[in-house]
């Protein structure tokens, strides 16, 4: 077996396939993992936990699919109790993630809802506290990405919706969760290579990722006064439903991720260890930091 766990030594260029040729570009936003073709790897058959988050309580947004699902599976296998959030239309994906987490023997819950609403963000935190009793780890991972080639076609409505989902929701969730977070807690935001190297056609999205990187560093300096660390992960091109549901133009999907030095897109499973590291006490001297997982495109 190629990946009997995340520690198996092998050539990283060949660890996953380089082609995405079976793709179906027709999914509406948000895309479903259940319809993602070819399928993504979230570590279902490979991630091996070792108690690195034993007893921790975590809230993960966008935990139904993609990177969020890989993080949810890894956190559960490391011993954390987890609440995942996603949009109601993603219930099928949410249930799949819940099933994997419960198999790990931890408490796992779903609280679906739209984080573009401040009142819902407060409700999500309140429900997490009532289910888990604390929030030791907050992973702001939900995100919206819709490709628009021309400035003239980028609507105010989309610009606002992208900022509300990617930036305002992160602010609302951090603000609501912080009161419940003990010293030692960790906030992990999901930035992007787009924060540093914006692509034409992702103007609104890339700008939100720049804001997330900056917010992460500023909030880290604020919250260290309470012993809370704040860091970010910046993924490169990762094979998830986001890309197949308007995140990329359909004609770019075949070659998605092939331009990076590694020569292939990343899989959600390859992101999870960075989130586990930032969540756990192993990264005790790290705050205001951004870890790039980019296939070699590197952060500046
Ligand atoms: P994904 O579609 O699997 O995950 C995004 C999730 O965001 C969805 O599952 C959905 O549950 C959630 N979401 C979107 N709008 C929401 C809303 N209003 N309310 C609640 N939830 C909402 O795709 P992914 O690629 O795993 O994305 C996860 C994160 O990774 C995003 O922040 C994305 O910007 C970031 N990212 C992805 C890539 C990539 O190449 N896939 C690269 C860099 C960064
Ligand atoms: Mg999803």
| Residue 76, domain CATH | 3.40.50.720
The tokens describing 182, both together, are: 């003990």
From the list 77, 81, 84, 70, the residue with the least C-alpha distance to 104 is 77
Q: What is the pLDDT of residue 20?
A: 73
215-248 pLDDT per residue, tens: 999 999 999 999 999 999 999 999 999 998 999 9
Provide the percentage of residues in the chain whose pLDDT is more than 90.
Answer: 92
Model confidence at 17: pLDDT above 80:
yes
What is the rounded CA–CA span in Å between residue 30 and residue 241? 7
Burial of residue 288 (CB within 10 Å: 0-12, 13-18, 19+) is middle
Beta bridge partners of 60: 84, 139
- Asked if the structure places residue 43 within a domain, the reply is no
- Asked if the structure places residue 10 within a domain, the reply is no
Count of domains observed in the chain: 1
In this prediction, residue 184 has a pLDDT band, given cuts at 50, 70 and 90, of very high
- The reply to whether 205 belongs to the active site is yes
Do residues 37 and 23 touch, judged by C-beta distance below 8 A? yes
- Asked if the structure places residue 34 within a domain, the reply is no
- Asked if the structure places residue 2 within a domain, the reply is no
Mean pLDDT for 289-298 is: 98
Burial of residue 232 (CB within 10 Å: 0-12, 13-18, 19+) is buried
- Asked if the structure places residue 97 within a domain, the reply is yes
- Asked if the structure places residue 12 within a domain, the reply is no
Q: What is the pLDDT of residue 19?
A: 73
Q: What share of the chain is helix, strand, coil (3-state, %, to 5)?
A: 40, 10, 45
List of E strands, the chain? 57-61, 81-85, 108-110, 137-140, 186-190, 229-235, 290-293
Do residues 228 and 56 touch, judged by C-beta distance below 8 A? no
The tokens describing 84, both together, are: 């995942």
139-178 pLDDT per residue, tens: 999 999 999 999 999 999 999 999 999 999 999 999 999 9
Domain that holds residue 251: 50-293
Do residues 73 and 33 touch, judged by C-beta distance below 8 A? no
* Largest Cα span, the chain: 51
Q: Which residues have C-beta atoms less than 6 Å from ligand 1?
A: 30-31, 61-62, 64-68, 85-87, 90, 114-116, 141-145, 165, 190, 192, 235, 237-238, 240-243
Kind of pairing, strands 81-85 and 108-110?
Answer: parallel
Q: What is the pLDDT of residue 145?
A: 98
- Asked if the structure places residue 259 within a domain, the reply is yes
241-289 pLDDT per residue, tens: 999 899 999 889 989 999 999 999 999 999 999 999 999 999 999 999 9
- Asked if the structure places residue 22 within a domain, the reply is no
Radius of gyration of the chain (CA): 18
Model confidence at 47: pLDDT above 60:
yes
In this prediction, residue 1 has a pLDDT band, given cuts at 50, 70 and 90, of very low
Model confidence at 131: pLDDT above 60:
yes
Of 31, 33, 68, 260, the residue with max ligand 1 atoms within 8 A of its CB, to mutate for a pocket test, comes to 68
Which residue, judged by its Cα, is nearest atom 31 of ligand 1? 143
How far does CA 280 lie from the centroid of its chain?
17
């Amino acid at each position: 077996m190629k990946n009997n766990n995340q520690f198996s030594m092998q050539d990283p260029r060949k660890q996953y396939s380089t082609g995405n040729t079976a793709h179906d570009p027709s999914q509406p936003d948000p895309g479903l993992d259940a319809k993602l073709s070819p399928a993504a790897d979230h570590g279902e058959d490979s991630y091996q936990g070792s108690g690195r988050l034993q007893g921790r309580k975590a809230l993960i947004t966008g935990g139904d699919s993609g990177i969020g699902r890989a993080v949810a599976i890894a956190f559960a296998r490391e011993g954390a109790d987890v609440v995942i959030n996603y949009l109601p239309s993603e219930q099928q994906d949410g249930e799949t993630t819940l099933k994997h987490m419960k198999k790990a023997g931890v408490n796992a819950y779903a609280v679906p809802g739209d984080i573009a609403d401040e009142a819902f963000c407060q409700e999500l935190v309140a429900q997490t506290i009532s289910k888990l009793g604390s929030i030791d780890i907050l992973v702001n991972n939900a995100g919206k990405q819709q490709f628009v080639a021309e400035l003239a076609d980028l609507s105010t409505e989309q610009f606002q919706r992208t900022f509300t989902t990617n930036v305002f929701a992160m602010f609302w969730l951090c603000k609501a969760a912080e009161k419940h977070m003990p010293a030692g807690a960790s906030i992990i935001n999901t930035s992007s290579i787009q924060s540093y190297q914006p692509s034409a056609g992702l103007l609104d999205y890339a700008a939100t990722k720049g804001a997330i990187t900056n917010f992460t560093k500023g909030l880290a300096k604020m919250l260290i006064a309470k012993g809370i660390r704040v860091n970010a992960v910046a993924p490169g091109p990762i094979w998830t439903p986001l890309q197949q549901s308007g995140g990329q133009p359909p004609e770019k999907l075949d070659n998605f991720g092939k331009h990076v030095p590694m020569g292939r897109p990343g899989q959600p499973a390859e992101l999870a260890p960075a989130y586990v590291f930032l969540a756990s006490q192993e990264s005790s001297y790290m705050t205001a930091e951004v870890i790039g997982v980019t296939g070699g495109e590197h952060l500046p």
